[in-house]
A = this chain, B = another copy of it.
Amino acid sequence: LIGGSVGLALRHRKLCRRIIGVGRREESLQVARRVGAVDHTTTELEQGVSEAELIVVCSPVMHIAKHVLSAAKLCPAGALITDAGSTKEQILDEIKECWDDARDVQFVGSHPIAGSEKAGPEAARADLFEQRLVVVTPDGTSGTRAVESVEQFWQSLGARTIRRSPANHDRLLAASSHMPHVVASALAACTSNSELPFTGSGWADMTRIAAGDVQLWQQILTENQSHVLQSLDKFMEMLDGFRTAIEAKDKRKLVRLLTAGKKKRDAVGS
């Protein structure tokens, strides 16, 4: 989804001379060609990156570090590498552990907060990044030029960018995305088959992301474990506050809690 949308956005905005899609499965690459996301495709990383100026690694989080390191070995000098993973700290640690400082290649992580419960190039959209936020996550060793180039890249696709350290990113995203995914999945899972026919648009909205890729989310939750647990505990404490107010039929407290939720939601808009 992300890789295909990057390709579509680049072509749509005529920002790129040549886009090469690199993938493991010929089927996905065929779809990527058919939807017009890429000019050429290959299953050989070496062939794919041999003349690349910019490499965007859109693999599932558990493969990102490995693919960034391979690409860094095979790409030309002067190339810039970024990724689109939902977790950042552990990936960067793995990359730094094996990074070849002798090569003139740079990596700066990024995370476009865009996407949906759908996956694959068939769901790709040229406008996926428009008005969306991309978190760019330099660490102490990132070159200023490289960080700015990655920011300009996402901005050229219509996104806004913001800089955060990898650890800070992971803490913020645990609260805004990873923990909510657990809540959505738990809500869907605890609804019995006899209750399902009585769900309406509220339940459907709340559980939409629970339809997402199971393996991908298992990886995200495991990689960002400590921050996800912290966020979960904060949520469970809040939920327990609601429970206590309902049990006591404490209308004033319940109104106060519901109002706090409404204010936060209203601040974000539709």
A169 to B270, CA, bound (A): 30
Stretch of A12-20, A64-72, A261-269 that contacts chain B: A261-269
Top 10 nearest A-B pairs by Cβ distance?
A185-B261, A190-B238, A188-B261, A189-B261, A176-B198, A189-B260, A210-B261, A188-B264, A202-B209, A210-B265
Chain B residue, CB-CB nearest to A118:
B270
Min distance, Cβ A199 to any Cβ of chain B, angstroms: 4
Which of B132, B175, B182, B209 interacts with A239 by CB under 8 Å?
B182
11 pairs from A and B in contact (CB 8 Å cutoff): A175-B192, A185-B258, A190-B234, A202-B208, A207-B264, A207-B268, A208-B270, A215-B255, A225-B247, A229-B243, A232-B239
* Interface residues, chain A, with chain B CB atoms under 8 Å away: 113-116, 132-133, 135, 162, 172-173, 175-177, 180-212, 214-215, 217-218, 221-222, 225, 228-229, 232, 234-239, 241-243, 246-247, 249, 251, 254-255, 257-262, 264-268, 270
Give the number of times this chain occurs in the complex, counting copies: 2
Min distance, Cβ A195 to any Cβ of chain B, angstroms: 4
Contacts of A235 in B (CB 8 A): 186-187, 190
A218 and B162 contacting across the interface, CB-CB below 8 Å: no
Residue with the highest number of chain B CB atoms closer than 10 Å, among A132, A184, A241 = A184
Contacts of A225 in B (CB 8 A): 246-247, 249
Chain B residue, CB-CB nearest to A259:
B214
B261 and A186 contacting across the interface, CB-CB below 8 Å: yes
A243 and B234 contacting across the interface, CB-CB below 8 Å: no
Residue with the highest number of chain B CB atoms closer than 10 Å, among A181, A191, A229, A237 = A191
**Given that A210-B262, A229-B243, A261-B188 are known contacts, is A199 also in contact with B268, CB under 8 Å in the complex?**
yes
Which of B180, B218, B255 interacts with A206 by CB under 8 Å?
B180
Residue with the highest number of chain B CB atoms closer than 10 Å, among A114, A177, A264 = A264
Which of B177, B189, B202, B262 interacts with A203 by CB under 8 Å?
B177
A238 and B176 contacting across the interface, CB-CB below 8 Å: no
Contacts of A266 in B (CB 8 A): 211
Which of B221, B229, B254, B264 interacts with A218 by CB under 8 Å?
B254
A266 to B211, CA, bound (A): 6
B254 and A221 contacting across the interface, CB-CB below 8 Å: yes
**Given that A195-B172, A251-B218 are known contacts, is A201 also in contact with B268, CB under 8 Å in the complex?**
no
Contacts of A200 in B (CB 8 A): 113-115, 132-133, 176-177
